[in-house]
């Protein structure tokens, strides 16, 4: 990161205001380490944040700003673009269409700001899918909403830790469906998205290790039915012609070990558990989930709205702090 460059502006969407979003955002955006890495600006409801701060017994100034650029990074100050959508008497921990609709509007605005180049990253507090649907917005979740609002057709999920970063070719589908879906085009697009994200994050020539599908990446035809040759090798040939240093197909078991040793900046996993398993061993930070392929990087916490404890001040802000750290890290070079 260039010392002259201002810290990245990260839009923090408040999620479902009846959940623990406001309570984890308040300490996370006030955190001294957070302020050393980025300039967070909350996209949400100022009154709800004040209520969360009161519940937490946190003394802070919650200031409404008109645009992200107006956010002042000062200890004890929370900058918020106030949509003012939540009723003053919204109960904590109760599903409501108001909160579901508000969460939708926060994301809509975040997408607009990202497209306009007014924010460098997005960090999302959890929304409640039932509330979102009850408000008439039938989307599976944040990722699809952001893709919709930014006009992006395909994104990739990345998990990021200090030692290992992994981007997934497929995620939440059955293993047989995953193998069927993997084809050279999808592999190629995934490698390119990962490459672009790494370049943006300040790694100009990332070394990318691409996993095979079968054990030992097929062991020269001993395992599987030639999936590596058919589905992966053509994609690697294509991206290499564009100067992308993508190596593989690699045996997945050793690829992660080599990445943790520093041989690869990014690993491309073919399916959910191939990437998630090794990364989750590394601990809590592995819970942060990044969406790659949107106009800006997006990170999210690893927990839900936790309606059972919302409004009690018991929620832990650690995952939100880590999500903000990752958003800052992956957007510093913009
Ligand atoms: Zn999952």
- Which residue range forms the structural domain that includes residue 172? 156-282
Whole-number Å distance, alpha carbon 153 to ligand 1 midpoint, is 20
Residue 13 lies in a domain: yes
Whole-number Å distance, alpha carbon 136 to ligand 1 midpoint, is 25
Whole-number Å distance, alpha carbon 213 to ligand 1 midpoint, is 18
Whole-number Å distance, alpha carbon 272 to ligand 1 midpoint, is 7
Tell whether 257 and 130 lie within a shared domain: no
Tell whether 138 and 203 lie within a shared domain: no
What is the CATH classification number for the domain harbouring 62?
Answer: 3.40.718.10
Q: Measured between alpha carbons, how far is 110 from 229 in angstroms, rounded to an integer?
A: 41
Tell whether 144 and 263 lie within a shared domain: no
Tell whether 95 and 219 lie within a shared domain: no
Q: Which helix (H) or strand (E) holds 99?
A: helix 97-115
Helices (H), 38-85: 46-56
Tell whether 22 and 101 lie within a shared domain: yes
Residue 127 lies in a domain: yes
Whole-number Å distance, alpha carbon 287 to ligand 1 midpoint, is 10
Tell whether 162 and 277 lie within a shared domain: yes
Residue 238 lies in a domain: yes
Rounded to two decimals, the pTM is 0.91
Whole-number Å distance, alpha carbon 271 to ligand 1 midpoint, is 10
Handedness of CA 147, 153, 157, 160 (dihedral sign): negative
Residue 134 lies in a domain: yes
* Structural tokens at position 281: 């061993």
Tell whether 229 and 278 lie within a shared domain: yes
Which among 51, 116, 131, 34 has a CA at the least distance from the CA of 12?
Answer: 34
Q: For position 4, what pLDDT does the model report? A: 56
Tell whether 87 and 68 lie within a shared domain: yes
Whole-number Å distance, alpha carbon 276 to ligand 1 midpoint, is 8
Residues in the chain with pLDDT values less than 70: 1-4, 284-287, 332-334
Whole-number Å distance, alpha carbon 278 to ligand 1 midpoint, is 13
Whole-number Å distance, alpha carbon 159 to ligand 1 midpoint, is 10
Q: Measured between alpha carbons, how far is 309 from 313 in angstroms, rounded to an integer?
A: 8
Rg (CA), the chain: 20
Whole-number Å distance, alpha carbon 191 to ligand 1 midpoint, is 20
Residue 288 lies in a domain: no
Whole-number Å distance, alpha carbon 94 to ligand 1 midpoint, is 26
Cβ atoms within 10 A of the Cβ of 234, count?
Answer: 14
Residue 38 lies in a domain: yes
Domain count, the chain: 2
Tell whether 41 and 140 lie within a shared domain: yes
Whole-number Å distance, alpha carbon 270 to ligand 1 midpoint, is 14
Tell whether 213 and 139 lie within a shared domain: no
Residues facing residue 167 across a β-bridge? 158, 268
Q: For position 284, what pLDDT does the model report? A: 62
Tell whether 102 and 44 lie within a shared domain: yes
Please give, one letter per residue, the 3-state secondary structure of 201-225.
CCCCCCEEEEECCCHHHHCCCCCCC
Tell whether 308 and 225 lie within a shared domain: no
Whole-number Å distance, alpha carbon 171 to ligand 1 midpoint, is 7
């Amino acid at each position: 990161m260039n010392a002259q460059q201002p810290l990245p502006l990260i839009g923090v969407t408040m999620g479902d205001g009846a959940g623990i979003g406001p309570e984890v955002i308040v300490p996370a955006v006030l955190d001294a380490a957070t302020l050393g890495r980025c300039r967070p600006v909350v996209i949400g409801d100022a009154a709800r944040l004040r209520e969360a701060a009161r519940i937490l017994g946190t003394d802070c100034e919650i200031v409404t700003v008109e645009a992200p650029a107006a956010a002042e990074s000062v200890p004890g100050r929370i900058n918020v673009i106030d949509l003012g959508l939540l009723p003053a008497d919204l109960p904590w921990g109760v599903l409501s269409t108001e909160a579901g609709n508000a969460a939708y509007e926060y994301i809509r605005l975040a997408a607009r700001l990202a497209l306009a180049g007014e924010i460098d990253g997005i960090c999302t507090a959890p929304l409640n899918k039932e509330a979102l649907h009850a408000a008439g917005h039938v989307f599976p979740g944040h990722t699809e909403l952001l893709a919709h609002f930014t006009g992006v057709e395909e994104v990739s999920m990345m998990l990021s830790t200090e030692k290992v970063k992994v981007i997934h070719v497929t995620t939440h589908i059955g293993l047989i469906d995953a193998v069927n879906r993997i084809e050279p085009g999808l592999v190629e697009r995934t490698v390119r998205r990962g490459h672009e994200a790494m370049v943006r994050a300040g790694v100009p020539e990332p070394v990318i290790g691409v996993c095979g599908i079968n054990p030992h990446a097929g062991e020269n035809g001993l395992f599987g039915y030639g999936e590596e040759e058919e589905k992966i090798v053509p994609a690697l040939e294509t991206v290499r012609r564009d100067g992308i240093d993508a190596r593989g197909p690699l045996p997945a078991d050793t690829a992660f070990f080599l990445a943790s040793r520093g041989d690869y900046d990014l690993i491309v996993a073919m399916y959910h558990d191939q990437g998630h398993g090794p990364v989750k061993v590394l601990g809590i930070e592995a819970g942060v989930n990044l969406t790659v392929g949107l106009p800006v990087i997006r990170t999210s916490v690893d927990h839900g709205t936790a309606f059972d404890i919302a409004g009690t001040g018991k929620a832990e802000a650690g995952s939100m702090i880590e999500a903000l750290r990752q958003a800052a890290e992956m957007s510093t070079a913009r």
